[in-house]
Amino acid sequence: MLFGRNKKNPIKIADKGVVEWKYTTCGYCSTGCSIEVGLDKKGDAVTSRGVADADVNRGKLCLKGIFEHELFKSAGRGRVPLMRKKRFDEFKEASWDEALDKTASEIKRIQEKYGRDSFAIVSTGQIMTEEFYTLGKLARGVIGTNNYDGNTTLCMSSAASGYKRSFGSDGPPGCYDDFEHTDCLLAIGSNLPEQHPVIYYRLKAAMEKKKFPLIVVDPRVTMLAQMADIHLPVTPGTDVVLLNSLAHVIIKEGLEDRAYMEAHTSDIESFEKLVAEYDPESASRICGIDADMIRHVARTYAKAGAAMTIWTMGINQSMHGSDGVVGINNLNLITGNIGKPGGTSLSITGQCNAMGTREWSSCSGLPGYRALENAEHRKEIAEFWNVDEEFFPKERGLFMTDIFPAIETGQIKGLWIIATNPMTSMTNTARMRKIMEKLDFLVVQDAYEDVETNEYSHVYFPAAVWAEKEGCFTNTERRVNLTRNVVEPFRESKPDFWIFNEMAKRFDHSVTFPENTEGAFNEMRELSKGRMLDYSGLTYDKIEEKRGIQWPFSEDAEEGSPRLYTDGEFQHADQKAKLIPLPFVDDNERPCDDYPFWLNSGRVVEHFHTRTRTGKVGNLNKFSPTPYMEMNPDAAKKLGVEHGSYARLTTRRGDAVVMVQTTQRVSPNMVFVPFHFHECVNRLALGLLDPHSRQPAFKQCAVKIEPIVNQGAAAVRNKAARAY
């Protein structure tokens, strides 16, 4: 029987019995979607929906956001503080006072015996900005360790470093609205449809209104590459060569914006001298992109009225991560594409509050984009916090990726880990295990007690998660958005803000700590007055009313600021941006006879990072429950590896068993493995560090692949990596 169009039943949305909707911002990725969580009459969170009048997401959510309310009561949540005398003993439940007292006394003991910097703190990009600010005050102004950093070193450190080198300050200059104005978009090492689905929706909507070329640079045929007009499958780790060569063609053919360069950039000559060496033919031999294609892309980009570049981990996670970012900035500076609608260098950030930590956590310096190296900045903050200026170090301490080796060498004895899971997210799991075992004292503060890193702790602090708390996140386009406290924290878990305040009480000091997050927010507003990073006009109510506001937003501002550097004035002393020459040295591990494949790693849409959260949500985990790799069918056939079977991957660091998914998304000399699973790709990856940003090259190393005869045993081993 045929059903006519008008005979179809209309879609019916299940009635969950919602009696109240509360305003929040998504706690997964940096897109910054506004979400309303629906509460039923018992006060339980039963559903989530996108906020229709929020400019970022315009009612949309991706599947992680749709199921986010299921987090609050998901399996593995931390219920009570846990303690044990010796690592690997059974944990005993403890009171908050016992756990906090023990931790404070261990911090003091270690610092007295080995010096202040022998106790390190490693935080995250996933707590509220007010929590970051408070932790910074505690770490810098009270505990006083210089070995304080965050997992953003695994993520955004190259972007921050590249922005500082080019423009004199961190801070992404563009916004999503630039998609509506651009005439050409270059996306490098970024897979928007899977990793930032709602930014992708904004891009697609813009492309439907006005067609412009989309050029994707990625060694893999990602979902974004499949939508592209031009896909450049660059040789891993060589983006800088491609970028230098694009600049070469633009300058050689006189396509640059000379007036902009002369007015707003410095060091033109040394830059031009360097790019002169990167003719397309020579570059092609290194980066694997045909010389004529390099010319075509350079001309398309330079001749577009406005052109913009976005990038994510394909650039940042590289031995040339910071240089890659500078290369992108160079390209946009020589074509006059900074600070204008549709012309920008927009780093797509990763975690929901990767920006908030860069702005306010004091990890790499002092709050509000201030530097430890700057005497005036030290003085301002010392006065504001009521700390002796001399208490502050005069330069930043170790990055996260240098803190772990310093534990290995015995320089660092104690560690406090907050909202990050390095046992799964850092490379070389076997080495990480030894490092963790070397610590005299480890305290882990996480929303989940079953997080792998907690296996090595002496004390565990159960943290409240996402909308069990209140505070702000800053998204990719500098938009500060608000999460309201939707439900009470699970069992005895506490907001990170509370934990930091309670810890501060256990130290003798002159610093005061506001009682609630709004108090901390007001201190940040005060400290930001008149700076580029100006929060002074923001209030919680105003943020909620506008569904997020982009900084700078001064006290007399009516609207947020979509773009930075619109007047061509930058943050270097001469107010000019720097053109920086980028000589390329190829120092990655590369495929060879013994390890013939590139090992690439990254993400899938339904999982977030180490799956502490998405692994527990049935409607997400079911789409991707098993560690697997993407492998080219021709390469698989040659090795006798079958689709759907298990195969062994081996590198110079270790081995792992994964299920094989044959696909044309990867070339015959590469495999791609999502990093979400424990005891999987990070047992294998090398992660050499970028010299400027200390960010690991997670995505480039060499691997060997073998079929497995005993598939039954392999299935058991593979299950171990699933954990749940």
In the complex, which residues of this chain contact ligand SF4 (CB under 6 A)? 26, 28-29, 31-33, 57, 61-62, 64-65, 196-198
Question: Considering the rule CB under 6 A, would residue 610 count as an interface residue with ligand MGD?
Answer: yes
The entry of ligand SF4, Mo ion, ligand MGD, none that residue 138 binds, CB within 5 to 8 Å by partner kind? none
Give whichever of 33 and 334 is closer to ligand SF4, judged by the CB atom. 33
Instruction: Build a one-symbol-per-residue string for 479-498: x at contacts with ligand MGD by CB under 6 A, - elsewhere.
Output: -----------------x--
The entry of Mo ion, ligand MGD, ligand SF4, none that residue 61 binds, CB within 5 to 8 Å by partner kind? ligand SF4
Q: Residue 699 in contact with residue 312, Cβ under 8 Å?
A: no
Q: How far apart are CA 481 and CA 475, in angstroms?
A: 8
Q: Which of 612, 624, 632, 718 binds ligand MGD (CB under 6 A)?
A: 612
Show contacts with ligand MGD in window 60-99 (CB under 6 A).
none
Beta-carbon count within 10 A of 371 CB: 16
Question: Considering the rule CB under 6 A, would residue 686 count as an interface residue with ligand MGD?
Answer: no
Show contacts with ligand MGD in window 627-666 (CB under 6 A).
none
Question: Number of C-alpha atoms within 13 angstroms, CB side, residue 485?
Answer: 12
Question: Considering the rule CB under 6 A, would residue 188 count as an interface residue with ligand MGD?
Answer: yes
120's tokens:
């390190």
Question: Considering the rule CB under 6 A, would residue 463 count as an interface residue with ligand MGD?
Answer: yes
Least distance (Å) between residue 315 CB and Mo ion = 12
660's tokens:
């094989």
Question: Considering the rule CB under 6 A, would residue 447 count as an interface residue with ligand MGD?
Answer: yes
Give whichever of 150 and 339 is closer to Mo ion, judged by the CB atom. 150
The entry of ligand SF4, Mo ion, ligand MGD, none that residue 345 binds, CB within 5 to 8 Å by partner kind? none
Give whichever of 27 and 591 is closer to ligand SF4, judged by the CB atom. 27
Instruction: Build a one-symbol-per-residue string for 334-353: x at contacts with ligand MGD by CB under 6 A, - elsewhere.
Output: ----------------xx--
Least distance (Å) between residue 178 CB and ligand SF4 = 18
Give whichever of 153 and 309 is closer to Mo ion, judged by the CB atom. 153
Give whichever of 155 and 228 is closer to Mo ion, judged by the CB atom. 155
Q: Which of 420, 457, 475, 661 binds ligand MGD (CB under 6 A)?
A: 420
Question: Considering the rule CB under 6 A, would residue 154 count as an interface residue with ligand MGD?
Answer: yes
Show contacts with ligand MGD in window 251-290 (CB under 6 A).
none
Tell me how far CA of residue 212 lies from CA of 203, 209, 288, 712, in angstroms: 11, 10, 25, 51
Instruction: Build a one-symbol-per-residue string for 192-211: x at contacts with ligand MGD by CB under 6 A, - elsewhere.
Output: --xxx---------------
Tell me how far CA of residue 256 lies from CA of 249, 251, 295, 335, in angstroms: 9, 6, 14, 5
Least distance (Å) between residue 473 CB and ligand SF4 = 9
Question: Considering the rule CB under 6 A, would residue 313 count as an interface residue with ligand MGD?
Answer: yes
| DSSP bridge pairs for 232 | 217
Show contacts with ligand MGD in window 532-571 (CB under 6 A).
none
Question: Considering the rule CB under 6 A, would residue 33 count as an interface residue with ligand MGD?
Answer: no
* Candidates 81-89, 166-174, 311-319, 701-709; binding stretch for ligand MGD (CB under 6 A): 311-319
The entry of ligand MGD, ligand SF4, Mo ion, none that residue 612 binds, CB within 5 to 8 Å by partner kind? ligand MGD
Least distance (Å) between residue 25 CB and ligand SF4 = 8
**Helix/strand/coil for 123:** strand
Tell me how far CA of residue 240 lies from CA of 237, 247, 348, 580, in angstroms: 8, 11, 18, 12
Q: 220: closest CA among 664, 705, 703, 700?
A: 664
* Candidates 248-256, 333-341, 421-429, 572-580; binding stretch for ligand MGD (CB under 6 A): 421-429
**Which stretches of 89-142 are DSSP H helices?**
96-114, 129-136
Give whichever of 157 and 265 is closer to Mo ion, judged by the CB atom. 157
Beta-carbon count within 10 A of 649 CB: 25
Give whichever of 64 and 576 is closer to ligand SF4, judged by the CB atom. 64
Q: Which of 445, 476, 481, 651 binds ligand MGD (CB under 6 A)?
A: 445
Give whichever of 54 and 705 is closer to ligand SF4, judged by the CB atom. 54
Is 259 buried (19+), middle (13-18) or exposed (0-12) by CB count in 10 A? exposed
CA dihedral sign of residues 236, 240, 244, 249: positive
Least distance (Å) between residue 579 CB and ligand MGD = 22
Least distance (Å) between residue 537 CB and ligand MGD = 27
Give me the amino acid identity at 185. Answer: L
Strand order from edge to edge, sheet including 45-50:
20-25, 34-39, 45-50
Question: Considering the rule CB under 6 A, would residue 127 count as an interface residue with ligand MGD?
Answer: yes
Eight-class DSSP state of 6: G
397's tokens:
């301490």
CA dihedral sign of residues 441, 446, 450, 453: negative
Residue 711 parent element (H or E):
helix 711-722
Least distance (Å) between residue 9 CB and ligand SF4 = 28
**Residues that bind Mo ion in the complex, under the rule CB under 5 A:** 155, 350
**Helix/strand/coil for 101:** helix
Least distance (Å) between residue 468 CB and ligand MGD = 8
Question: Considering the rule CB under 6 A, would residue 699 count as an interface residue with ligand MGD?
Answer: yes
Give whichever of 126 and 166 is closer to ligand MGD, judged by the CB atom. 126
Q: 562: closest CA among 225, 192, 188, 173?
A: 173
50's tokens:
């996108």
Contacts of 5 (CB under 8 A, 6+ apart): none
Q: How far apart are CA 696 and CA 155, in angstroms?
A: 9
Least distance (Å) between residue 17 CB and ligand SF4 = 23
Residue-wise burial string across 593-618, b where 16 or more C-beta atoms lie within 10 A, e elsewhere: eebebbbbbbbbbbbbbbbbbbbbbe
C-alpha 454: how far from chain center: 22
Q: Which of 172, 189, 367, 368 binds ligand MGD (CB under 6 A)?
A: 189
Beta-carbon count within 10 A of 98 CB: 14
Q: Which of 60, 140, 231, 609 binds ligand MGD (CB under 6 A)?
A: 609
The entry of ligand MGD, Mo ion, ligand SF4, none that residue 451 binds, CB within 5 to 8 Å by partner kind? ligand MGD
Question: Considering the rule CB under 6 A, would residue 190 count as an interface residue with ligand MGD?
Answer: yes
What secondary structure, in 3-state letters, does 350-406 show? CECCHHHHHHHCCCCCECCCECCCCHHHHHHHHHHHCCCHHHCCCCCCCCHHHHHHH
Give whichever of 548 and 687 is closer to ligand SF4, judged by the CB atom. 548
Give whichever of 237 and 562 is closer to ligand MGD, judged by the CB atom. 237
- Bridging pattern class, strands 230-232 and 214-217: parallel
Tell me how far CA of residue 656 lies from CA of 117, 389, 567, in angstroms: 36, 50, 52
Give whichever of 143 and 426 is closer to ligand MGD, judged by the CB atom. 426
- What are 80-85's contacts with CB under 8 Å, separation 24+? 80/462, 80/491, 80/492, 81/459, 81/460, 81/461, 81/462, 81/492, 82/449, 82/459, 82/460, 82/462, 83/458, 83/459, 83/460, 84/458, 85/458
DSSP 61-97: --HHHHTGGGGTT-TTB--S-EE-SSTTSPPEE--HH
Q: Residue 184 in contact with residue 304, Cβ under 8 Å?
A: yes
Backbone dihedral angles phi then psi of residue 313, each to the nearest 5 degrees: -75, -20
Question: Considering the rule CB under 6 A, would residue 517 count as an interface residue with ligand MGD?
Answer: no
Give whichever of 257 and 679 is closer to ligand MGD, judged by the CB atom. 679
* Candidates 114-122, 414-422, 478-486, 567-575; binding stretch for ligand MGD (CB under 6 A): 414-422
The residues binding ligand MGD (CB under 6 A) are: 29, 124, 126-127, 151, 154-155, 188-191, 194-196, 217-220, 222, 234, 236-237, 239, 312-314, 317-318, 350-351, 418-422, 425, 445-448, 451, 463, 465, 496, 600-603, 605, 607-610, 612-613, 675, 681-682, 685, 698-699
